[in-house]
Amino acid sequence: MDMKNPSRLQGERSASFDILTSSGGYGEVYKGHIQNNVTVAVKVLENKDVVRETFMAEVSTISKASHRNIVKLHGYCFEPNMKALVYEYMENGSLDKILYQNHHSNIEWGKLYGIAIQIAKGLDYLHNGWDEQIIHYDIKAGNVLLDSKVSSKIADFGFAKLMNRDLSRVPLTRTRGTVGYNAPETWMPGSHISFKCDVFSFGMLLFEILGKRSNGMEENWFPQQVWEQFKNGKLEIIFRDCGIMDKDKEKANILSKVAFWCAQYSPELRPSMIDVVLMLEEKIPVGSLPAPSNFCSSRIVQWYHY
């Protein structure tokens, strides 16, 4: 497929591309093949929804990334009548479908714990893997894709930002991310942000992995339920309700504590992703959590969003 020729892409799409899934208001995703019979997923965007800045941010960012836990970009097309991104094909779709739509699937919770580590390693690569730092801004279950072996890769870099390492924080120019995942500083006018906003989002994702469910909102906000049981020494109740078996309870306990650290209201209190990886891999201990108010105040953030 010649990605510089949109008419050819259109022709190949209609002739040999099968629709995979709808992508909401942003177009559709197709399964197809390029040279050497490589299977790909083609995200064809609706012209009316394409912002050149967002599109080129995704292309420029992901084209530089090369890591086993980052989805590979094979090519793209940006022409008046065709906007498309060509990614490696991920056979098992996105993580949200397992957590939300098929949470009674036979995937073991221990496998989900491994997926959490893989996502953490992908984020650590974005933050520390090269001269410039990449802030993803939109870490969530829908932007984690799973291959044939149910290994995970981070996708969708439309909101991503390259940041010079000489800068520890940059001014926020517009709200970024997804409600329920984005850190407090990403919607507060006049604030400065850092890679720690990705850490917060990852913490929210860890809670969803813990429960194999959406975090919900207001009085049903799952992180608050976990916190209430944790501070009362009754995390076993959460594990039981989530169907976590005895063999996985130690890892579930670690994951819960790491999630609390990542979801701290104050960015300065959140760990780096390399420390998150080491904690999840049990190579360093998870420290004692800060005062409860530091986490509980993040609940106010969720209510504000909704």
Reduced to 3 states (helix: H, G, I; strand: E, B; else coil), residue 48 is helix
- The residues, ordered by sequence, that sit 6+ positions from 259 with a Cβ below 8 Å of its Cβ are 203, 204, 206, 207, 210, 223, 226
pTM: 0.84
Per-residue pLDDT tens listing for the chain (306 residues) = 444 443 344 334 433 455 555 444 456 788 888 888 889 998 887 766 667 777 777 787 778 788 999 999 888 888 888 888 889 999 999 999 889 876 556 789 999 999 999 999 999 999 998 777 888 989 999 999 999 999 999 998 766 665 544 444 554 555 556 778 888 888 776 667 889 999 999 999 999 999 999 998 877 899 999 999 998 999 999 999 999 999 999 999 999 999 999 999 999 999 999 999 999 999 999 988 876 556 665 554 554 444
Q: What's the rounded Cα separation, in Å, for the pair 278 and 39? A: 34
pLDDT of res. 20:
53
Q: What's the rounded Cα separation, in Å, for the pair 85 and 1? A: 12
- CB-CB contact of 267 with 150 (8 Å): no
pLDDT of res. 296:
60
- CB-CB contact of 146 with 94 (8 Å): yes
Of the residues 124, 138, 198, 248, only one is catalytic, namely: 138
Superfamily of chain region 6-88: Phosphorylase Kinase; domain 1 (3.30.200.20)
CATH architecture group of domain 95-305: Orthogonal Bundle (1.10)
Whether 138 is catalytic is yes
Displacement of CA 198 from its chain's centroid (Å): 8
pLDDT of res. 174:
52
In the chain, what are the domain boundaries?
A: 6-88, 95-305
pLDDT of res. 45:
79
H-state helical runs in the chain: 6-16, 52-64, 95-96, 109-128, 196-211, 222-231, 235-241, 249-262, 273-280, 292-305
